[in-house]
């Protein structure tokens, strides 16, 4: 067991630890300053950027070179060439004096000498002891200390965030070593997942585009024609037309620029089209930076997290086999965020936009077309097909109260909006919906071919107005299609059911059509189609106005009550409608009771899944999902929701949660009561591959 042998060695480590603390304090306190740093064995390509709080971490060592001059009252050393004094008549004068970095250089010399000695004596390499040794009265089995750090991802250089987080482990290990404990700190680098591959693919596309255009894939302000082609090797050298420091100000627009900003030599840029280049390049630089920072790491125990590290790969395989034996890992079809371009699930760390976004499940209501569409009379395939308008809803239990169906005739600028007629997975069935919905359906086994939306023809939204369609569960059985101008074609299917008893938007829009003859005339809507429509009671709720001293009462038309309370005059009162919608949906779903159908008297929260399943079983609906919000992969692809076979961890499983809760309560050591209380509040719910707290 290797312990501190001399007071001088202990003092040296303590002194450098203090210097590091002071250096970090200076860095964090002066995040807006420009870090001026000497190069640390990196060549000319690793100058530091002028950014507020993120910089390539060559790392705290380079930071120290620029900022430790502040230590021990050395501010005068940092003056950029002079000091100010008051001259005649109160005028300011500048006296030029030579810059001195003596204090800084002394600290750096001490640092370099210590780190060289650590390297020579392998001071941080720890082996398992044959016998547990008692240290300072501490039993042998308690005289060990192990630290680890979440593997930093290697699609670039380390930055200040890494440095800040690393200090927690660094200071803890340093303290425990001073207590005489045998401390082991291994370190690894995260290279699995899509970010590296996506960056390599992006660079490949940029280079192909550059070859086609005869220029380099660099942003405005960077010379794009300064290429040097090596005929034998096929390499392309990219040279920036502005300084390297200016290139690192965060305005990089291409992957090539990003690499240049991190100090990658121009002649090596093309090599990064191969993902394996990243695996060798950035981990080695990160190791240099961490060693320069003086971290107490046993570098014999380092690896990257791919099959390139067979022993770590074997550990992961063992881990999953063990979890499978414990029935913590299962296999089956799951709805997950999916990248069509990458042909795989797009997890959080694979996304450029949409971190934390999960699949949103809808019920697609199948409304069979009874009328014929005049504009499509010449489309042969439609003549013998069963044609449905597919409406996406989050509230299938309210379909008893559907009075009509909404479609979008034109966009906000008055331009025509087009729907598509798509083949579904059922032979002879055609569904009318938006393009984005058809694409999502294609990845959920709801089209003839996985991943391919099969379009028969397009139809204008205006040509869908006034049609008769069936309305599953509705007391009216058959309803008309009417115009609604607030439909968003990028959400759902572009077809919307109208339930004025429970949806304030529907109540207001239908009231507008009933009151405003010019609005009906504009869209050729016959008065007889709308004037007799009235809300159909579906759910009974207790309603109480927000105003003080208002009394509670029951209502079977919560949408009307909410519109009255928030003074909604038309469908254009978006702010008031948002308030009305929030209140109506909350009351209806969480506190409402069904008053119609075979589940009359049942709470809505319980009835919803039962009614949804009934619609699906009877062939009146499909289960469908799409991302809650936009998700873009790192490869630049717009993601969909796909139903795919996959292995998954059952994080939300009750027995497992109970085991974790028991461990947290009785055996897990934590450093503060606040941390324990926060863990105690966490409950995970696994829904379609997403974890909810």
pLDDT (tens digit per residue) in 433-483? 999 999 999 999 999 999 999 999 999 999 999 999 999 999 999 999 999
pTM of the full structure: 0.70
Cα gap 28→91, rounded to integer Å: 35
CATH 3.90.740.10 domain residues, the chain: 359-627
Burial 195-213 (b: 16+ CB within 10 A, else e): bbbbbbbbbeebbeebeee
What's the Cα-to-Cα distance from 329 to each of 211, 313, 532, 642, rounded to whole Å? 47, 18, 56, 20
Residue 267 CA: distances (Å) to CA of 40, 276, 585, 638: 21, 17, 60, 32
Q: Whole-number mean pLDDT of the chain?
A: 81
Helix (H) or strand (E) holding 172: helix 160-178
Query: H or E element: which one contains 24?
Result: helix 7-29
303-309 average pLDDT score: 87
Q: Are 584 and 504 in contact (CB under 8 A)?
A: yes
The answer on pLDDT for 558 being more than 50 is yes
Q: What is residue 232's DSSP assignment? A: T
b/e sequence 259-274, b meaning 16+ C-beta within 10 Å: bbbbbbebeebbbbbe
Tell me the CB-side half-sphere exposure of residue 25, using CA atoms within 13 A: 9
**168 in helix, strand or coil?**
helix
CA 236, chain centre distance (Å): 34
Find, among 363, 379, 491, the residue nearest to 430 by Cα: 379
| pLDDT bracket for residue 427 (50, 70, 90) | very high
- Per-residue pLDDT at 215: 61
CA gap 538, 597 in Å, rounded: 9
pLDDT (tens digit per residue) in 314-333: 999 999 999 999 888 888 89
Helix (H, G, I), strand (E, B) or coil at 407: strand
Beta strands 359-368 and 351-353 are unpaired
Which residues lie closer than 8 Å to 599 by C-beta, 6 or more apart? 607, 610, 611
**Please, are residues 583 and 504 in contact by the beta-carbon 8 Å criterion?**
no
Query: What CA–CA distance (Å, rounded) separates 425 from 432?
Result: 14
Residue 284 makes CB contacts below 8 A (sequence gap 6+) with none
Q: What are phi and psi of 411, to 5 degrees?
A: -85, -175
User: Which runs of consecutive H residues, i.e. helices, occur in 415-503?
Assistant: 435-442
Reported as type and span, the H/E element at residue 64 is helix 59-67
What b/e readout covers 534-549, taking b as 16+ CB neighbours within 10 angstroms? Answer: ebbbbbbbebebeeee
Helix extents (H) in 530-573: 558-565
Q: In Å, how far from its chain's centre is CA 337?
A: 11
Read off the pLDDT of each residue in 683-693 and give the average, rounded to a whole number.
49
> Alpha-carbon distance 428 to 435, whole Å?
19
What's the pLDDT score for residue 657? 83
Question: Does an H or E element contain 632, and which?
Answer: strand 632-633
Q: What is the number of H-type helices and E-type strands within the chain? A: 18, 28
CATH number of 359-627: 3.90.740.10
Minimal CA–CA distance to 289: which of 56, 50, 564, 602?
Answer: 56
Interhelix angle 574-586/558-565, nearest 10 degrees:
140
Residue 517 pLDDT greater than 50, yes or no = yes
Q: Which residue has the higher pLDDT, 351 or 91?
A: 351
pLDDT category at 562 given cuts 50, 70, 90 is very high
Q: Please write the tens of the pLDDT for every residue from 609-643.
A: 999 999 999 999 999 999 999 999 988 889 999 99
> What is the distance between the alpha carbons of residues 132 and 140, in angstroms, rounded to a whole number?
4
């Amino acid at each position: 067991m290797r312990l501190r042998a001399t007071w001088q060695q202990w003092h040296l480590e303590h002194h450098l630890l203090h210097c590091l603390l002071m250096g970090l304090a200076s860095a964090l306190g002066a995040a807006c300053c420009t870090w001026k740093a000497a190069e640390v064995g990196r060549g000319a390509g690793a100058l530091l950027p002028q950014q507020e709080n993120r910089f390539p971490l060559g790392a705290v060592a380079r930071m120290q070179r620029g900022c430790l001059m502040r230590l021990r009252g050395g501010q005068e050393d940092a003056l950029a060439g002079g000091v100010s004094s008051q001259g005649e008549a109160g005028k300011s004068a500048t006296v030029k004096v030579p810059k001195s970095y003596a204090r800084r250089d002394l600290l750096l010399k001490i640092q370099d000498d210590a780190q060289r000695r650590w390297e020579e004596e392998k001071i941080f390499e720890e082996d398992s002891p044959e016998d547990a040794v008692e240290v300072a009265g501490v039993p042998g089995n308690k005289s060990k200390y192990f630290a680890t750090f979440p593997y930093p991802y290697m699609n670039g250089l380390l930055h200040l965030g890494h440095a800040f987080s690393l200090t927690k482990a660094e200071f803890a290990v340093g303290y425990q070593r001073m207590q005489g404990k045998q401390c082991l700190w291994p370190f690894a680098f995260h290279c699995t997942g899509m970010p590296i591959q996506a960056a390599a693919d992006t660079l490949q596309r940029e280079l192909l585009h550059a070859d086609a255009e005869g220029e380099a894939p660099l942003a405005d302000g960077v010379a794009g024609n300064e290429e040097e082609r090596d005929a034998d090797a096929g390499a392309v050298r990219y040279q920036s037309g502005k300084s390297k420091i200016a290139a690192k100000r965060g305005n990089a627009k291409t992957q090539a620029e990003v690499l240049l900003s991190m100090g990658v030599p121009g002649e090596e840029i093309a090599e990064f089209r191969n993902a394996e280049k990243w695996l060798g390049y950035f981990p080695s630089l990160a190791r240099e930076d961490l060693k320069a920072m003086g971290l107490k790491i046993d570098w014999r125990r380092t690896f990257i997290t791919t099959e390139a590290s067979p022993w770590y790969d074997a550990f992961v395989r063992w881990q999953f086999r063990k979890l499978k034996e414990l029935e913590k890992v299962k296999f089956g079809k799951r709805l997950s965020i999916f990248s069509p371009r990458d042909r795989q699930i797009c997890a959080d760390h694979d996304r450029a936009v949409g971190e934390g976004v999960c699949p949103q499940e809808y019920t697609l209501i199948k409304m069979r077309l009874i009328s014929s569409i005049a504009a499509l009379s010449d489309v042969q395939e439609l003549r013998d097909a069963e044609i449905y308008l597919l409406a996406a809803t989050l509230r299938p239990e309210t379909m008893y109260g559907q009075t009509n169906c909404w479609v979008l005739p034109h966009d906000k600028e008055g331009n025509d909006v087009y729907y598509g007629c798509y083949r579904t997975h059922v032979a002879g069935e055609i569904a009318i919906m938006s393009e984005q919905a058809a694409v999502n359906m294609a990845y959920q086994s709801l089209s003839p071919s996985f991943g391919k939306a099969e379009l028969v023809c397009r139809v204008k939204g205006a040509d869908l107005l006034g049609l008769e369609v069936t309305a599953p569960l509705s007391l009216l059985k058959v309803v008309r299609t009417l115009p609604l101008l607030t439909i968003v074609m990028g959400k759902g299917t572009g077809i919307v059911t109208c339930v004025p008893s429970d949806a304030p938007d529907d109540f207001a829009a239908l009231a507008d059509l009933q009151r405003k003859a010019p609005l009906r005339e504009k869209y050729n809507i016959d008065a007889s189609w709308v004037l007799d429509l009235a809300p159909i009671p579906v759910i009974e709720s207790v309603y109480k106005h927000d105003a003080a001293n208002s009394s509670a009462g029951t209502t079977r038309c919560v949408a009307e009550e909410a519109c009255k309370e928030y003074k909604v005059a038309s469908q254009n009162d978006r702010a008031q409608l948002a308030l009305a919608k929030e209140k109506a949906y909350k009351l209806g779903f969480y506190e409402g009771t069904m008053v119609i159908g075979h589940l009359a008297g049942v709470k809505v929260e319980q009835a919803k899944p039962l009614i949804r399943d009934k619609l699906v079983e009877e062939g009146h609906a499909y289960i469908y999902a799409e991302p809650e919000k936009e998700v873009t992969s790192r490869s630049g692809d717009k993601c969909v929701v796909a139903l795919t076979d996959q292995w998954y961890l059952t994080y939300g499983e009750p027995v497992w949660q109970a085991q974790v809760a028991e461990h947290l309560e009785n055996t897990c050591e934590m450093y503060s009561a606040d941390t324990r209380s926060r863990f105690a509040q966490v409950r995970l719910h696994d829904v379609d591959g997403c974890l909810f707290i």
